[in-house]
Amino acid sequence: MAEEISVKDAAELLRVSEKTIYRWIRQGVIPTIKFQGQYRFDKLELEGWARHNRIGSYPGGTGDDRHEEPVSLVQAVELGGIHYKIEGDTPEAIYANVAALFPFSPRLAPTFKETLRTTLLEREGLVSTGIGHGIALPHPRHPRDWGLGQPAVGIFFLEQPV
């Protein structure tokens, strides 16, 4: 189960002020949810966001400018796979089928598949990821560590247009 933390905890985790956390929330740049009037954060997601945005003051981070290996699109697609004839006549059905095919570890799969499905739907609710000519680039709004150990890109061809 995901560990949720408060604004105060997030500020301590990232070693920034609460004011900075609230500014990032207003700007829509930090992954958060609002529950019963309070902002909450998924700790693992927040750490992944901090790593991606090179905010070096998170547990496990060094804060230095370590050389990171470049991301290989070929390796990312090899991990995510190329999938044909994805069924579904609604975005909800398609995203559920896409999430079911993503290569999560068996231990993480039940939680991450549902999280991926809802994350893609939330992103689509903000603005369409369709770019025209039957092509869409659905993706989470904020980067997150999906427990795969490296970036993954899945390519999915639908059975029928939606």
pLDDT computed for residue 159 by the predictor: 92
Domain ranges, ordered by start, for the chain: 4-52, 73-158
pLDDT computed for residue 89 by the predictor: 92
Question: Has residue 59 got a pLDDT over 70?
Answer: no
Mean pLDDT for 138-146 is: 75
- Which amino acid is present at 151? P
Distance linking the first and last C-alpha atoms of the chain: 33
Q: Categorise residue 15: left if φ over 0, alpha if ψ from -120 to 50, beta otherwise.
A: left
pLDDT in tens, 102-125: 888 777 778 888 888 888 998 888
pLDDT in tens, 13-31: 888 889 989 998 988 889 9
CA dihedral 153, 139, 13, 105 (to 10 degrees): -40
pLDDT computed for residue 104 by the predictor: 81
The percentage of residues in the chain with a pLDDT greater than 70, rounded to a whole number, is 88
Q: CA 17 to CA 74: how far, in whole Å? A: 39
pLDDT computed for residue 126 by the predictor: 82
Question: Whose CA is closest to 53, among 147, 145, 148, 154?
Answer: 145
Q: CA 72 to CA 151: how far, in whole Å? A: 9
pLDDT in tens, 3-16: 889 999 998 888 88
Q: Which pTM does this prediction carry?
A: 0.58
Mean pLDDT for 35-45 is: 88
Sheet holding 33-35, edge to edge: 4-5, 38-42, 33-35
Mean pLDDT for 42-64 is: 69
Mean pLDDT for 71-92 is: 91
